[in-house]
Amino acid sequence: MSTQECEAVINAGVKFATELLLAGFNCLLIGEMGIGNTTSSAAMASVLCNLPIRKAVGLGTNISSKRWNIKCHLVEKAIAKNGPFSDAFSVLQKLGGFEFAYLTGLIIGASKNHLPVILDGFNTAISALLAKLIYPNCQLTVLPSHLSGEPAHLSVLKELKLSPYFDLQIKLSETAGSGLLLQLWNHLNTPKNPTNLLPKKSILSNFPSLNTTYRQMATERWNNLTKPCHSLGQLENIVIFLADFCQTPYPSMEDLRNRQKDLSAFFYQISTAFFPPPRERELAQGIGYLTAETALALFHGMKTFSEADVSIANNGIGKYLQKKERKY
């Protein structure tokens, strides 16, 4: 981007944040959709956090090792070609893109108006770090959500003096992580009756034996949704387990509600992915239930490649697992 373009897009983000505030919004969940975003993020994180390139570059949405090597080479080439960098603005201008400039402006605008912003994954975290460095006089009003699979994400959060709230091994979020945190936030602010503390160890042995057919059918649907395979991490495993437990290949919200009591130990198990794991029984149950609900919403809400009539992934894990012709 030119200097003028970068400034204009940042200002557009600032303006939009103000418009959202005036429209009555009291919290923003930011995210992005696209291809190659983590390549730009890794390049910027390498410069801003002083990370070796191979420590900054991750597998994105489960690309192959061959593509990862190409990605590392491209990041190295981009940094060498565009450097040196005088400040964070020049890093954004030369290594980022319009989406990062807009998100950076949105965070600055929200923070100036004391509007909370819940970050999603790696790309939104690097935008927050850019906002902090470009506009140091503004106290950021950002909250983290999950820890992504990108190796540089934690380094960026440390620069922001933030710690993730949970790690579900999500590699493709698009606000799934920040949306879950908002649900948990609302849950925590709902008055509750005092309940007993959970034991230090929860007994997780009372689950039925797994049904291979239901497991395979649920797995196959996940693999054929319009996303890279395994990119939603533990959210995929949660639904696959529910398929076994509820004895149906496509478990529903109603199944979750009807079996809520029977799944209490499983909900506790899910809650251990949060930092720190909750000890209070009702809180752990609520966290586990809301996480399972989020997983099911994605499982049923996304389209398969056949339904969306788009091309399947042709590299990495998806090359062998995705079947465009299959109907669900």
Tracing tokens 């540089």 back to the chain, one arrives at 152
* Amino acid identity at 220: E
Q: Are 178 and 145 in contact (CB under 8 A)?
A: yes
Which residues in the chain belong to E strands, given as ranges?
28-29, 117-118, 142-143
Which H or E run includes 29? strand 28-29
- Is 159 tagged catalytic? no
Distances (CA, A) of 41 to 38, 141, 228: 5, 21, 19
Tracing tokens 């970068």 back to the chain, one arrives at 6
Query: From the centroid of its chain, how far is CA 214?
Result: 27
The one-character DSSP state at 214 is: H
Quote the tokens at residue 164. 């993730």
Quote the tokens at residue 121. 């994954």
Catalytic residue among 150, 159, 174, 236: 174
How many separate helices (H) and strands (E) can be counted in the chain?
Answer: 16, 3
Which residues participate in catalysis according to the annotation?
174
